[in-house]
Structure 1
Amino acid sequence: MTVQICSLIVNEPQSIPADGQYHVVRFPFGAGESFDDCNMHQTAQPDGYAVTDWRHDDRSGLIWPAAEGWGSLNALMYWDDGSYSEIRSRFVRDPLDLSTGFDSTCTEDTPSTPGGQYRAKHWELFVHPGTPLALMVKHDAGRSVNLSFAELKLAIHS
């Protein structure tokens, strides 16, 4: 059995607005990634779109599965201390409604604890090459809060 892996890491704070909406977590391309030998997270995307600035384009948060199969998703999120009582995260198939339509799964809400929030999550699902995946987050603070570190990993068992 072949396992195809895409492992994304961002060690740069992302400001998550206090607007009550979910936001795609964005990841750098190239040297900023830990592993992407199957080209599932590239600036030139399968639908012909080219990302020019990963920091400002939600498409930089997409993983485009390289094969049909059973996908294992993992995420790690470090939130700065903030005036929130709850943070939420979810995995989403086609979060930007580019192919098969928005389909969220594994939505979690967690109460805050003193200081920063450090969350890890895991979910498994069927994945398809034409349907991108992303990690989305939100919080209930009255001001923007930084997501100071994030990882998103997909392993496809085809």
Structure 2
Amino acid sequence: MSIVVCSLKWDASVLKTRKPTYDSDGYHLVRFPYGSSGESYDPWKMHDPFHGGSVASKFPDARSGLIWPSHEGWGVVSALVFWEADERAEEYRARFVRDPLNLSTGYDSTATTDIAPTRGGQYRSYMWQMFVTPGVPLGFKVSARGSRDTKVATPMTLAEFKLAIHTDVKTPD
């Protein structure tokens, strides 16, 4: 079985400000730099700045948060986010979203997770599986929430977003 992979990563040294800005859905689309950034790996050009627009995207604009599947198949998405300690945050949420910027088929979130904080920094990993197709980008969105569901701009110190596509999905004879 063939697998194609895109693996994105950034850490606090990439951005001077790491506080998320929230979209109208109350989540922040995590953005990733283009090119090689530490552990990033993208031989299939699924995180190419020319996807999804007539001009090249520039990190950290919203399009830099997208992975565009290069193949149709069974996609395994995974993500990792480290948050600084923030006593204002009472809940941390994350979700994977097909077309988070409404560039093709429309916003379609899946695998939304919410977790209460532990003491100190928050270190979370996430995984989900779904069919993916070229032309429908994927994004990883996060939110830290305080009392009365207010958004808290808790700084992130590390983020990763990965897609592995199993391109040879077997069907019954």
Q: TM-score, normalised by structure 1?
A: 0.92
Once the 2 structures are TM-superposed, how far is the Cα of residue 17 of structure 1 from its aligned partner?
A: 4.0
* Secondary structure, aligned partner of 2:63: helix
In structure 1, C-alpha distance between the alignment counterparts of 2:97 and 2:79, rounded to whole Å: 12
* 3-state SS of paired residue (1:31): coil
Instruction: After superposition, give the CA deviation of every residue in 1:41-81 in whole Å (9 maximum; x if it has no partner).
Output: 011115544112x12x1110100000100000010110111
Match status 1:30 vs 2:35: yes
Q: Distance in 1 between matches of 2:5 and 2:94?
A: 22
1:132–1:70 distance in 2 versus 1, CA, 3 Å: same
Residue type of the alignment partner of 1:140: R
Deviation at 1:34, TM superposition (A): 1.7
In structure 2, distance between residues paired with 1:18 and 1:11: 19
Q: Which amino acid aligns with 1:35?
A: Y
The answer to whether the Cα contact below 8 Å between 2:22 and 2:28 also exists between their aligned partners in 1 is no
After TM superposition, the structure 1 = structure 2 runs for residues 88-127 of structure 1, keeping only pairs within 5 Å, are 88-127=93-132
Report the equivalent of 1:2: 2
1:108-147 correspondence to structure 2 within 5 Å = 108-141=113-146, 143-147=152-156
- Taking only aligned residues, the RMSD between alpha carbons, in angstroms, comes to 1.7
How many corresponding residue pairs?
156
Secondary structure of the corresponding residue to residue 131 of structure 2: strand
- The answer as to whether partners of 1:18 and 1:145 remain within 8 angstroms in 2 is no
Q: Of 38, 46, 51, which residue of structure 2 is paired with 1:40?
A: 46
Which deviates more from structure 2 when the two are superposed, residues 85-94 or residues 24-33? 24-33
Query: Any idea what SS the aligned residue of 2:36 has?
Result: helix
TM (norm. structure 2) is 0.84
Partner of 1:60: 64
SS in 2 for 1:72: strand
Residue number in structure 1 paired with 2:171? none
How far did 1:18 drift? 7.1
Percent identity between the aligned chains? 46
Name 1:78's counterpart in structure 2. 82
Misfit runs of 4+, over 2 Å:
17-20, 46-49
Secondary structure of the residue aligned to 1:16 is: coil
Task: For 1:77, give the aligned amino acid.
Answer: V
Unmatched 5+ stretches in structure 2:
168-173
Most deviating of 17-26 and 125-134: 17-26
